[in-house]
C-alpha cells in the first residue's frame, strides 16, 4: 500500500455520451485564490526514518494546514456514491446533497469541530456526530438510535502520547500472553497470568499447552489485547486509523490506503471524479501534526481560594477512588512515535507495509521538557485515565447507558475511561456531550464507578465544588 | 519474509508480464491483468515462492496409464498441533506422510514420518481424504487406490494403522479416484462415497466400461467398554462403524471426483459426480439425491437436471453470491465450467447454466507460452489467496501424459476474483507458472501466518510446495488482506462439523464457506476454514451446524485463529507455536 508515494493529480478521463471530461487540477486551480487545498500532495513522498526538527516541523505545518483546510469538491471532498463506513461501502443510490448532518459528510474541515479552545480541541453539543457501522441504510436512518450512537468531539491534545502509551501497553500484554503460552507448552499445563501493564489491570488470561486461550477473564480490552486508545468506546487503534475513518466520514476525502485501487479495485471509489484523494503521505502529515500536539496542562489560577479548593479536590478524587480509573499519570518509556505504527491491520498502513517507518521524535517538541519524569526517566503522562474500558451503568444509574447499539463489539454500557486532562477547557461532557456541568456528569457515573460516585454524592456541596475546582485547573493551553 | 534478491526476481518477472490498458493504472501495490473480455483489472497478487525440496518434501506421483489420473493427497492435523500435515499419493511410488514442522510465518518445513503399511499397500495410491471415522479424538484417513481402498485409523501422533477389518470395510477392487463423506441426519458415523473410474476387467475396456460408484452407510457395531480412546476415557462405552453394506450408484460413468453438497439449501446432502467423457458411452455428469436412510436416486431431466458431458476431472463448490446456493467449478479438458443455478428454472430443480465465460474462469488454454492447444484441468479449489474478501479459484493443470491434441506445457491457474465479481488470471504474476503436470492440490495455511499456501502434486515430477509470502515489494514483502481461520468443533460425533456452513459477515458483505470432505481431484484439506477479510478488523460469524441448527453470533477479531465449539458462547482463540 505504500506503493504510491507521490500524490497523483493525474487526469481522470471519463467517457460518457461522447463528452470527454477531464477532472484535474488545471492551471486555474493553481492561482492563489483557487478553491483548492494546496497542502494536499505537498508532502510528496511518504516520510521515513527519524525526522529531524526541521523535517518534522515542516511535516507538521502541512498537517496543520490539512487539519484546518476546508476541503472543496475540487479537492475530492464529498462521496456521492460511498457511505461513511469504515469498510469501503457503496451507497445504494447517489447522494442528493453533498453534506448531511447525520450520516455525513457533515463538516468541511477537521477544525470545524475540533476547535475548543484551540485547533485540535473539542467541541460543543452542536457538533456531535453519529457513529454506526454506517453501511448503506445510513442515509435515512442514522439518527435513529437503533442505527447509530451519538458522540461528542474529543480533543486531540497530547494524542501522540496517548497512542504511545497504548502501544507500549499492548506490547506488554502481548508479551505476557506469549510468555504464558511458552510456559504452558514447556510445562504441558494450563497457565493463568495477570494482564497488568503500567499498573492497569486488564484481568487474566489462561492458556493451555495446545495453544488455546481462555479469555473469559480479560477485562477492559479487546480479546486481541490491543489497547485501542481513541474514541469514547476505545475502539480506534491509532491516529492514522482515526484520520482515515474521519476523513471519509466527515469530509468524503478517501485515503488511498483504505479506499484505493488495491482494496476496492478503483482509485475513485466514491465516484466523485477525483482519484487518490488522500495519499499515504497526506495521511502521515495529518498524523504527525496530531501526534505532536501539546498535551493539556494543569494551570493554577491566581485566585488563592481556588488554588486551595483545587488542592482539596485533587486529594478528594483520590479519597473517593476516582483515580482507580482516572489515573493521574502513566509512565511512558519512549517518545519515538513510529508512523505507520505497529498495531494497525490492513486498511490502515502499518509498519509491516513499509520499508522503514518514519519516527517523529516527540522530545523535539518544545513542550516535552515540561513533562514530569519518574525515577526511571520515563515520562509521566498526566492523562488522568487508564486507557481501559469500564462498565458505566448499574441498575440504579443507567444515565450513561442511553444507547441501543454496541459499537464495534463493545457493549453499550461500557466506555473507555475519559482522560480528564483538558477537561477544564472542554465543556460539555460525557460521550454524548450532553452534560454541561461537571457535577452532573460525575453523578451520572455508575457501574464500576458506583462506589466513587456514591462517595462524591455523599459529601456536601462545598466538597463537591472542590473537585470541580480541581478539574477546572486541567486546561488546554490557549 | 523473502530476501530482497528473491523479491526483486519476482518483481522483475511481474514487470515483464504486466498488461497495460487505458483507464486503470497499476500502482506498486497492485498488478494489472486482463480478463477474458479484455478488461483490465488491478489486483493485489500474492507471491507464491516455490520451496520444493527445501521444504523437506521429496515426492513424485508416478506410474503408467492407471496413474495418468489421480495424484492427490490430504492435508490434515495428524498430531494435534493444529498445523496441517500432509499425506501424498505416489501412484506406482509409495505414498508418504509428512509432519509439518514449520514455524509461524516461516519457511514451509516438513519431516517424513513412517507409514505402517506394507510396501504393496503403500503403492497404487491415487489420493486420500482425512476425517473422523470412529468419533474418537484422532483424525483418520481414507486412502484411495487402484485396487483395495484403505481406512487408516489415526493414533493422534501421526501413527496410522489399517482398519479395514475393524470397520468391516472391504475396500473393493476398483480403480478409485474420488471420495466424499457426509454425516446424514441422525447418523453416528459418516456415510462414504467412492468414485470409481474404468473397469479394466470388463470386455472392451477401457471404452464404455466404467465402474459403478459406491455409497457406504455405516451400521453401528457395538464394541463394548474399554477398548476405545474416546475422549481419553477408557471406561466409556463406544461404538465403531461397520461399513459392510455397499450401495451401488449405477450407472457409473468413469468418475474422477465426487462431492457431497447441499445444492438446494435443503439441509439434505446430494452427491455430485463429475465424469470423464473420454471413456463413458451415453454418460453425463451426475447428481444423486441421497435421502437419509433411503435409497439414492439419480436426478434426471424430469427433475430439471440438464445433461452435460465433459471430461470431468475435479469439482469445487463455493457460494459466490452468498445466496445459500453453491456454484460449482468443474475442471475439464478445454473449457472449464462454472455452474450456477439457472434463475429462470423452476424452484428446487437442479438446472444449471454455465457462467464460466462471463466470470472469466474458462481457463481453456495455457495463459503463457506459444502452445494454444486446449488445457487439461484437474484439481479445482476455491480459496481466498490474497485475503481480499473475494474468493479465488485455483486449477491444477497438466497434460494427461503426452496427448498431442492438448497443451504440453500447461501451467496451473490462479484466477483471482476482482471487485466486479469476475476472475482474472494471475498464475504467472503469483509465480506458480511451472511447466509441470499438476494433478491434486492442497490449499492450506501451512505456516499459520494467515496466508494460504499451496502444494501441488505433479505427475512424474517433484511435488511443488509454494509458500505464500504476501505482496512483493522492492524491500521485501508485506501482508495481504486481513483474515480469519475458523475451526469448528462438535462433541462426540462429526467432530469437525462436516456439512456445516459458516457465514462470516463484515460490513455489508457476507461470505459463506461449507465444511466438506471430498471433491477437488483426489485431494482435500481438513482443518481451519480460511476466510479473507480484506480491510475488516472484526467479523461476525454464524454457523449452520450439520443438523441444520444455527448458532448464535460469534464476534471475533481479524488475523486470528479461532475455535468455535458448539454450545459454547465465545470463540476460543488459538495461538500457534512461534518457536519450534
The position carrying cell 505414498 is B95
Burial tier of A29 (Cβ tally within 10 Å: 0-12, 13-18, 19+): middle
**CA angle (A420, A422, A424) in 5-degree steps:** 95
Percent with pLDDT over 70 in chain B: 91
Reply yes or no on whether the pLDDT at B173 is more than 90.
Answer: yes
In the 3-class helix/strand/coil scheme, how is A365-425 assigned residue by residue? CHHHHHCCECCCCCEEECCCCCCCEEECCCCCCCCCCCCCCCECCECCCEEECCCCCCHHH
CB contact set of A202 (below 8 Å; sequence gap of 6+): A173, A195, A196, A218, A219, A220, A221, A225, A388
**Residue B15: predicted pLDDT:** 29
User: At B237, is the pLDDT very low, low, confident or very high (cuts 50, 70, 90)?
Assistant: low
Residues in chain B within 8 Å Cβ distance of A1: 29, 478
**Residue B4: predicted pLDDT:** 37
B456 beta partners: B441, B464
Q: Does B575 touch chain A (CB under 8 A)?
A: yes
Reply yes or no on whether the pLDDT at B117 is more than 90.
Answer: yes
Q: Do A223 and B388 touch (CB under 8 A)?
A: no
- What is the spatial distance between Cα A72 and Cα A253, in angstroms, rounded to a whole number? 10
**Residue B373: predicted pLDDT:** 96
CA-based nearest residue in chain B for residue A12? B23
Burial tier of A305 (Cβ tally within 10 Å: 0-12, 13-18, 19+): exposed
User: At A102, is the pLDDT very low, low, confident or very high (cuts 50, 70, 90)?
Assistant: confident
Mean pLDDT of chain B: 91
**Residue B186: predicted pLDDT:** 87
Q: Do A346 and B26 touch (CB under 8 A)?
A: no
Phi, psi of A380 (to 5 degrees): -95, 105
CA-based nearest residue in chain B for residue A11? B23
- What is the spatial distance between Cα B127 and Cα A114, in angstroms, rounded to a whole number? 64
C-alpha of B288 from chain center: 20
User: At B235, is the pLDDT very low, low, confident or very high (cuts 50, 70, 90)?
Assistant: low
**Residue A153: predicted pLDDT:** 95
Tell me which residue of B98, B151, B148, B144 sits closest to B125, measured CA to CA.
B144
**Residue A21: predicted pLDDT:** 38
Residues in chain A within 8 Å Cβ distance of B479: 346, 352-353
- What is the spatial distance between Cα B41 and Cα B285, in angstroms, rounded to a whole number? 34
**For A454-475, what is the mean pLDDT?**
97
Q: List chain A domain ranges.
A: 12-154+233-291, 160-214, 297-328+382-475
Q: Do A345 and B558 touch (CB under 8 A)?
A: yes
- Is the complex ipTM higher than 0.85? yes
Percent with pLDDT over 90 in chain B: 83
**For A96-107, what is the mean pLDDT?**
88
CA–CA min distance A107, chain B (Å): 24
**For B41-58, what is the mean pLDDT?**
93
Residues in chain B within 8 Å Cβ distance of A133: 507
Q: Do B27 and A182 touch (CB under 8 A)?
A: no
Cis peptide before B431 (omega within 30 of 0): no
C-alpha of A265 from chain center: 28
**For A206-227, what is the mean pLDDT?**
97
Instruction: Specify the range with the lowest mean pLDDT, choosing from A259-268, A296-305, A402-411, B433-442.
Output: A402-411
**For B188-201, what is the mean pLDDT?**
96
Percent with pLDDT over 90 in chain A: 82
Where do the H-state alpha helices sit in A136-279? 138-141, 159-187, 239-246, 256-259, 261-264
Burial tier of A199 (Cβ tally within 10 Å: 0-12, 13-18, 19+): exposed
Reply yes or no on whether the pLDDT at A7 is more than 80.
Answer: no
Q: Does B25 touch chain A (CB under 8 A)?
A: yes
CB-nearest to B419 from A207, A265, A345 is A265
User: At B522, is the pLDDT very low, low, confident or very high (cuts 50, 70, 90)?
Assistant: very high
**For B375-409, what is each residue's pLDDT tens digit?**
999 999 999 999 999 999 999 999 999 899 999 99
Sign of the Cα pseudo-torsion (A210, A211, A216, A218, in order): positive
CA–CA min distance A214, chain B (Å): 7
**For B256-270, what is each residue's pLDDT tens digit?**
999 999 999 999 999
Q: Count CB pairs under 8 A between chains A and B.
A: 129
Q: Give the three-class secondary structure for A323.
A: helix
**For B413-449, what is each residue's pLDDT tens digit?**
999 999 988 999 999 999 999 999 999 999 999 999 9
Phi, psi of A262 (to 5 degrees): -65, -25
- What is the spatial distance between Cα B491 and Cα B107, in angstroms, rounded to a whole number? 34
Residues in chain A within 8 Å Cβ distance of B576: 211
Sign of the Cα pseudo-torsion (B114, B115, B118, B120, in order): negative
CA–CA min distance A241, chain B (Å): 11
CA-based nearest residue in chain A for residue B564? A212
Instruction: Specify the range with the lowest mean pLDDT, choosing from A125-139, A333-347, B526-540.
Output: A125-139
Buried b (16+ CB within 10 A) or exposed e, A423-447: bbbbbbbbbbbbbeebbebbbbbbb
**For A429-442, what is the mean pLDDT?**
96
Residues in chain A within 8 Å Cβ distance of B556: 223
Q: Which of A242, A346, A349, A355 to mutate to test the interface with B (most CBs of B within 10 A)?
A: A346
CB-nearest to A136 from B508, B557, B573 is B508
Residues in chain B within 8 Å Cβ distance of A224: 557, 559-560, 573
**Residue A142: predicted pLDDT:** 59
CB-nearest to A408 from B474, B481, B538 is B538
Q: Which of A4, A15, A87 to mutate to test the interface with B (most CBs of B within 10 A)?
A: A87
C-alpha of B324 from chain center: 20
Q: Do B28 and A215 touch (CB under 8 A)?
A: no
Distances in whole angstroms, Cα of residue B545 to Cα of each of A127, B186, B371: 46, 13, 47
Q: Which of A7, A49, A211, A221 to mutate to test the interface with B (most CBs of B within 10 A)?
A: A211
Q: Do A355 and B80 touch (CB under 8 A)?
A: no
Structure-block grid coordinates of residue A218:
480479560
Residues in chain B within 8 Å Cβ distance of A181: 575, 577
CB contact set of A96 (below 8 Å; sequence gap of 6+): none
**For B144-173, what is the mean pLDDT?**
97
Tell me which residue of B134, B271, B255 sits closest to B190, measured CA to CA.
B134
Distances in whole angstroms, Cα of residue A158 to Cα of each of A123, A135, A197, A371, A476: 16, 32, 20, 11, 10
- What is the spatial distance between Cα A10 and Cα B45, in angstroms, rounded to a whole number? 25
**For A296-355, what is each residue's pLDDT tens digit?**
999 999 999 999 999 999 999 999 999 999 999 999 999 999 999 999 999 999 999 999
Tell me which residue of B411, B459, B458 sits closest to B433, measured CA to CA.
B411
Edge-first strand order for the sheet with B96-100 is B110-113, B96-100, B85-88, B73-76, B523-525
CB-nearest to B29 from A1, A222, A345 is A1
Reply yes or no on whether the pLDDT at A144 is more than 70.
Answer: yes
Q: Could you say which residues from 483 to 512 on chain B have a Cβ atom under 8 Å away from some Cβ of chain A? A: 506-509
CA-based nearest residue in chain A for residue B40? A265
**CA angle (A234, A236, A242) in 5-degree steps:** 135
Q: Do A261 and B24 touch (CB under 8 A)?
A: yes
Residues in chain B within 8 Å Cβ distance of A345: 482, 535, 537, 558-559
- What is the spatial distance between Cα B360 and Cα A454, in angstroms, rounded to a whole number? 67
Q: Do A216 and B27 touch (CB under 8 A)?
A: no
CB contact set of B12 (below 8 Å; sequence gap of 6+): none
Q: Residue A291 belongs to what H/E stretch?
A: helix A280-291
Phi, psi of B151 (to 5 degrees): -105, 125
- DSSP E strands in A245-368: the ranges are 297-298, 330-332, 336-339, 358-361
CA-based nearest residue in chain A for residue B506? A87
Percent with pLDDT over 70 in chain A: 91
B382, B363 in Cβ contact below 8 A?
no
User: Candidates 1.10.10.10, 3.40.718.10, 1.10.760.10, 1.10.150.130; correct CATH number of A297-328+382-475?
Assistant: 1.10.760.10
Q: Does B390 touch chain A (CB under 8 A)?
A: no
**Residue A156: predicted pLDDT:** 98
Structure-block grid coordinates of residue B219:
451400521
User: At A32, is the pLDDT very low, low, confident or very high (cuts 50, 70, 90)?
Assistant: confident
Q: Do B42 and A210 touch (CB under 8 A)?
A: no
CB-nearest to A352 from B479, B574, B575 is B479
Q: Does B105 touch chain A (CB under 8 A)?
A: no
- Helices A280-291 and A239-246: crossing angle, nearest 10°? 120
Q: Do B507 and A85 touch (CB under 8 A)?
A: yes
CA–CA min distance A78, chain B (Å): 21
Instruction: Specify the range with the lowest mean pLDDT, choosing from A168-177, A201-210, B21-30.
Output: B21-30
Q: Residue B441 belongs to what H/E stretch?
A: strand B438-444
B319, B293 in Cβ contact below 8 A?
no
**For B15-29, what is the mean pLDDT?**
37
Residues in chain A within 8 Å Cβ distance of B41: 265
**For B543-554, what is the mean pLDDT?**
96
Q: Does B362 touch chain A (CB under 8 A)?
A: no
Radius of gyration of chain B (CA): 22
Structure-block grid coordinates of residue B442:
492442497
**For B136-155, what is the mean pLDDT?**
97
**For A350-369, what is the mean pLDDT?**
97
Reply yes or no on whether the pLDDT at A11 is more than 80.
Answer: no
CA–CA min distance A238, chain B (Å): 13
**Residue A10: predicted pLDDT:** 38
CB-nearest to A224 from B25, B30, B560 is B560
For chain B, helix (H) and strand (E) counts, in that order, are 4, 44
From the CB of residue A180, how many other CB atoms can be counted at a distance below 10 Å? Answer: 22
Return the higher-pLDDT residue of B371 and B488.
B488
Residues in chain B within 8 Å Cβ distance of A213: 572-575
Q: Do A211 and B482 touch (CB under 8 A)?
A: no
**For A197-206, what is each residue's pLDDT tens digit?**
999 999 999 9
CA–CA min distance B233, chain A (Å): 19
The position carrying cell 473410474 is B197
- What is the spatial distance between Cα B185 and Cα B35, in angstroms, rounded to a whole number? 43
Amino acid at each position: 500500500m505504500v506503493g504510491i508515494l507521490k500524490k497523483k493529480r493525474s487526469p481522470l478521463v471519463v467517457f460518457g455520451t461522447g463528452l470527454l471530461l477531464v477532472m484535474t487540477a488545471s492551471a486555474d486551480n493553481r492561482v492563489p485564490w483557487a478553491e483548492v487545498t494546496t497542502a494536499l500532495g505537498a508532502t510528496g513522498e511518504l516520510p521515513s526514518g527519524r525526522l529531524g526538527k526541521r523535517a518534522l516541523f515542516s511535516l507538521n505545518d502541512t498537517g496543520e494546514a490539512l487539519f484546518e483546510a476546508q476541503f472543496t469538491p475540487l479537492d475530492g471532498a464529498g462521496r456521492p456514491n460511498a457511505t461513511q463506513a469504515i469498510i469501503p461501502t457503496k451507497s445504494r443510490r447517489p447522494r442528493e446533497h453533498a453534506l448531511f448532518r447525520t450520516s455525513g459528510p457533515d463538516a468541511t474541515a477537521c477544525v470545524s469541530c475540533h476547535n475548543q479552545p484551540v485547533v485540535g480541541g473539542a467541541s460543543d453539543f452542536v457538533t456531535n456526530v453519529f457513529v454506526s457501522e454506517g453501511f448503506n441504510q445510513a442515509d435515512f436512518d442514522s439518527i435513529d438510535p437503533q442505527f447509530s450512537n451519538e458522540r461528542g468531539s474529543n480533543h486531540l491534545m497530547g494524542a501522540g502520547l496517548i497512542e504511545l502509551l497504548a502501544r507500549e501497553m499492548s506490547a506488554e500484554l502481548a508479551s505476557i500472553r506469549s510468555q504464558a503460552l511458552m510456559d504452558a507448552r514447556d510445562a504441558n499445563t494450563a497457565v493463568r497470568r495477570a494482564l497488568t501493564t503500567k499498573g492497569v489491570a486488564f484481568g487474566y488470561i489462561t492458556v493451555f499447552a495446545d495453544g488455546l486461550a481462555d479469555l473469559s477473564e480479560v477485562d477492559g480490552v479487546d480479546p486481541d489485547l490491543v489497547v485501542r486508545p481513541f474514541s469514547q468506546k476505545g475502539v480506534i487503534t491509532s491516529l492514522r486509523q482515526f484520520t482515515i475513518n474521519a476523513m471519509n466520514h466527515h469530509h468524503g476525502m478517501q485515503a488511498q490506503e483504505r479506499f484505493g485501487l488495491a482494496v476496492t479495485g478503483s482509485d475513485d471509489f466514491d465516484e466523485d471524479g477525483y482519484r487518490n484523494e488522500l495519499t499515504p503521505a497526506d495521511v502521515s502529515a495529518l498524523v504527525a501534526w496530531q501526534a505532536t500536539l501539546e498535551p493539556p496542562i494543569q494551570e493554577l489560577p491566581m485566585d488563592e481560594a481556588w488554588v486551595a479548593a483545587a488542592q482539596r479536590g485533587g486529594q478528594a478524587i483520590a479519597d473517593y477512588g476516582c483515580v482507580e480509573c482516572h489515573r493521574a499519570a502513566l509512565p511512558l518509556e519512549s517518545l519515538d512515535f513510529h508512523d505507520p505504527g505497529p498495531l494497525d491491520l490492513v486498511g490502515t498502513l502499518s509498519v509491516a507495509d513499509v520499508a522503514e517507518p518514519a519516527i517523529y521524535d516527540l522530545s523535539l517538541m518544545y513542550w516535552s521538557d515540561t513533562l514530569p519524569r519518574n525515577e526511571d526517566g520515563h515520562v509521566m503522562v498526566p492523562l488522568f485515565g487508564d486507557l481501559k474500558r469500564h462498565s458505566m451503568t448499574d441498575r440504579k444509574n443507567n444515565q450513561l447507558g442511553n444507547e441501543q447499539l454496541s459499537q464495534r463489539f463493545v457493549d453499550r454500557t461500557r466506555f473507555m475511561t475519559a482522560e480528564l486532562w483538558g477537561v477544564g477547557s472542554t465543556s460539555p461532557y460525557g460521550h454524548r456531550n450532553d452534560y454541561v456541568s461537571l457535577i452532573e456528569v460525575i453523578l451520572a457515573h455508575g457501574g464500576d464507578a458506583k462506589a466513587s460516585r456514591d462517595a462524591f454524592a455523599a459529601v456536601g456541596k462545598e466538597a463537591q465544588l472542590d473537585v470541580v475546582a480541581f478539574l477546572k485547573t486541567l486546561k488546554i493551553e490557549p | 519474509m523473502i530476501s530482497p534478491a528473491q523479491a526483486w526476481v519476482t518483481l522483475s518477472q511481474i514487470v515483464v508480464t504486466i498488461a497495460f490498458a487505458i483507464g486503470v493504472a497499476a500502482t506498486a501495490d497492485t498488478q494489472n491483468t486482463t480478463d477474458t473480455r479484455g478488461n483490465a483489472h488491478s489486483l493485489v497478487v500474492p507471491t507464491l515462492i516455490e520451496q520444493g525440496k527445501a521444504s523437506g518434501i521429496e515426492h513424485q506421483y508416478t506410474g503408467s496409464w492407471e496413474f495418468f489420473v489421480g495424484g492427490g493427497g490430504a492435508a490434515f492435523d495428524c498430531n494435534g498441533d493444529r498445523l496441517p500435515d500432509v499425506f501424498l499419493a505416489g501412484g506406482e511410488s509409495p505414498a508418504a506422510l509428512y509432519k509439518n514442522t514449520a514455524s509461524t510465518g516461516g519457511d514451509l518445513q516438513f519431516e517424513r514420518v513412517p507409514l505402517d503399511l506394507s510396501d504393496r499397500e503403500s503403492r497404487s495410491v491415487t489420493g486420500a481424504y482425512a476425517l473422523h471415522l470412529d468419533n474418537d479424538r484422532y483424525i483418520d484417513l481414507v486412502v484411495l487406490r487402484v485396487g483395495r481402498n484403505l481406512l487408516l485409523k489415526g493414533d493422534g501422533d501421526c501413527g496410522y494403522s489399517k482398519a479395514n477389518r475393524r470397520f468391516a470395510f472391504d475396500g473393493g477392487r476398483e480403480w478409485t479416484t474420488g471420495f466424499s463423506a457426509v454425516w446424514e441426519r441422525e447418523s453416528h458415523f459418516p456415510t462414504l462415497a467412492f468414485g470409481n473410474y474404468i473397469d479394466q476387467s470388463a470386455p472392451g475396456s477401457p471404452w464404455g466400461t466404467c465402474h459403478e460408484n459406491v455409497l457406504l452407510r455405516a451400521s453401528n457395531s457395538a464394541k463394548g467398554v474399554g477398548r476405545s480412546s474416546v475422549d481419553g476415557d477408557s471406561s466409556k462405552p463406544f461404538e465403531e462403524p461397520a461399513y459392510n453394506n455397499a450401495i451401488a450408484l449405477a450407472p457409473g460413468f468413469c468418475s474422477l471426483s465426487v462431492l457431497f453438497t447441499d445444492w438446494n439449501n435443503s439441509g439434505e446432502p446430494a452427491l455430485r459426480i463429475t465424469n470423464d467423457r473420454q471413456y463413458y458411452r451415453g454418460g453425463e455428469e451426475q447428481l444423486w439425491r441421497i435421502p437419509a436412510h433411503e435409497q439414492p436416486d439419480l436426478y434426471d431431466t424430469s427433475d430439471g437436471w440438464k445433461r452435460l458431458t465433459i471430461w470431468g476431472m475435479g469439482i469445487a463448490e463455493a457460494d459466490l453470491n452468498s445466496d445459500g446456493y453453491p456454484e460449482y467449478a468443474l475442471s475439464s479438458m478445454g473449457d472449464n465450467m462454472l455452474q450456477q443455478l439457472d434463475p429462470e428454472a423452476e424452484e428446487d430443480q437442479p438446472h444449471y447454466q454455465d457462467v464460466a465465460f462471463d466470470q472469466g474462469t474458462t481457463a481453456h488454454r495455457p495463459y503463457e507460452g506459444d502452445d494454444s492447444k486446449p488445457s487439461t484441468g484437474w484439481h479445482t479449489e476455491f480459496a481466498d489467496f490474497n485475503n481480499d474478501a473475494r474468493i479465488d479459484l485455483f486449477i491444477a493443470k497438466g497434460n494427461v501424459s503426452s496427448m498431442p491434441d492438448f497443451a504440453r506445457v500447461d501451467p496451473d491457474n490462479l484466477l483471482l476474483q476482482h471487485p466486479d465479481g469476475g476472475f482474472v488470471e494471475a498464475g504467472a504474476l503469483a509465480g506458480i507458472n511451472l511447466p509441470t503436470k499438476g494433478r491434486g492440490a492442497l490449499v492450506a495455511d501451512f505456516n499459520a501466518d494467515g496466508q494460504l499456501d499451496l502444494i501441488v502434486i505433479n505427475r512424474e515430477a517433484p511435488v511443488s510446495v509454494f509458500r505464500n509470502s504476501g505482496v512483493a515489494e522492492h524491500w521485501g514483502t508485506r501482508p495481504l488482506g486481513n483474515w480469519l481461520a475458523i475451526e469448528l468443533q462438535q462433541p462426540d460425533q462429526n467432530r469437525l462439523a462436516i456439512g456445516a456452513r459458516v457465514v462470516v459477515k463484515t460490513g455489508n458483505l457476507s461470505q459463506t464457506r461449507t465444511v466438506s470432505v471430498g471433491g477437488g481431484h483426489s485431494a482435500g484439506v481438513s482443518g481451519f476454514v480460511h476466510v479473507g477479510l480484506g480491510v475488516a478488523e472484526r467479523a461476525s460469524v454464524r454457523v449452520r451446524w450439520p443438523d441444520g441448527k444455527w448458532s448464535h453470533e460469534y464476534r471475533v477479531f481479524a488475523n486470528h485463529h479461532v475455535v468455535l465449539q458448539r454450545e459454547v458462547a465465545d470463540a476460543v482463540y488459538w495461538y500457534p507455536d512461534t518457536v519450534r
